[in-house]
Amino acid sequence: MKHLSTLTLAVGLPAAGAPAATQAQQASSPYRTRFAVDGPITLGLAGTNVLGLYLIQQKTGLTDAEVANLRVEDVPKFDRFVAGNYDENSRTRSDYLFYGSLAAAPAFLALNPATRGRYGQVVGLYVQSVAVTGALFTITAGTVYRYRPLTYSNEASSAQRTRKNATNSFFAGHTATTATATFFAAKVFHDFNPDSRARPYVWGAAALIPAAVGYYRLDAGKHFLSDNLLGYTIGAAAGILVPQLHKTAGRNGFSVSPMQGINANGYSYGGFAFTKPL
């Protein structure tokens, strides 16, 4: 750690004449992003989302005869208790939480003084995180047919049970995207505010909000429990891992640098130095 501190000081000296605000911004971010790298990645993910949405549109819904032949007994026991659920109020509540979390996550980070100076970078990572989840969801939903729990309900209308959307149960997109938004906000807050006492509460809120979305999606008859568990896991992983993979080497992981010199016997040497902070 002493060596790292010395290196940081040495690198920081040339900027001594820069304005204090600029120095604070340059030193404040735990992440390293490059437009030449992250731009194409995000665009590629956006293209994958478009492809996934196209595949979803090409799916076919059930016929009335197929709906009539659906049997709850054919649903795996783990998910069977959800088959036949249908509640429009729960669907509406899940939509409010879903759209609200997508807006609240970046708004929360915009209000945090530590992230405000790097907000452009944070938003770029947020879009990339959501795009990862969106790509995984749309491609999966566009290629996998799993009938929603409401297709087993006599309370849902025939139109709802036979439309294309009724085949998109696997996996839970609302739950996944909400988890991405909330866990991303918690992860970024955690990394930018290492001494904040609020961190456990932020993580707790990040975990609870997508869980609530998942509950309402179950009650609405939109997804089975396994759909929600997988969606929650994928969404949380994307929200945490995208920022984590962008963390600067000096704060996390290994750094690699070229080195050369002359040993005690007078022989020259060269190679790469691998370092990791402890």
Residue type, 264: A
Tens-digit pLDDT profile for residues 69-93: 999 999 999 999 999 999 999 999 9
Q: Say whether both 263 and 176 belong to one domain.
A: no
What domain count does the chain have? 2
Least trusted range by pLDDT, from 9-13, 47-51, 200-204: 9-13
Q: Say whether both 243 and 263 belong to one domain.
A: no
Instruction: Give the H or E element holding residue 89.
Output: helix 88-111
Q: What domain range is 93 assigned to?
A: 37-247
On whether residue 26 sits in a domain, the answer given is no
Tens-digit pLDDT profile for residues 129-169: 999 999 999 999 999 999 999 999 999 999 999 999 999 99
Residue 91, number of CB atoms within 10 A of its CB: 18
Tens-digit pLDDT profile for residues 15-43: 333 344 444 445 479 999 999 999 999 99
DSSP state of 274: E
Q: Say whether both 64 and 201 belong to one domain.
A: yes
Tens-digit pLDDT profile for residues 235-257: 999 999 999 999 984 444 554 44
Q: What angle do CA 133, 134, 139 make, to 5 degrees?
A: 105
Kindly write down the DSSP assignment for every residue of 147-197, as one continuous string: --GGGG-SSS-HHHHHSGGGGB-SS-HHHHHHHHHHHHHHHHHHHH-TT-T
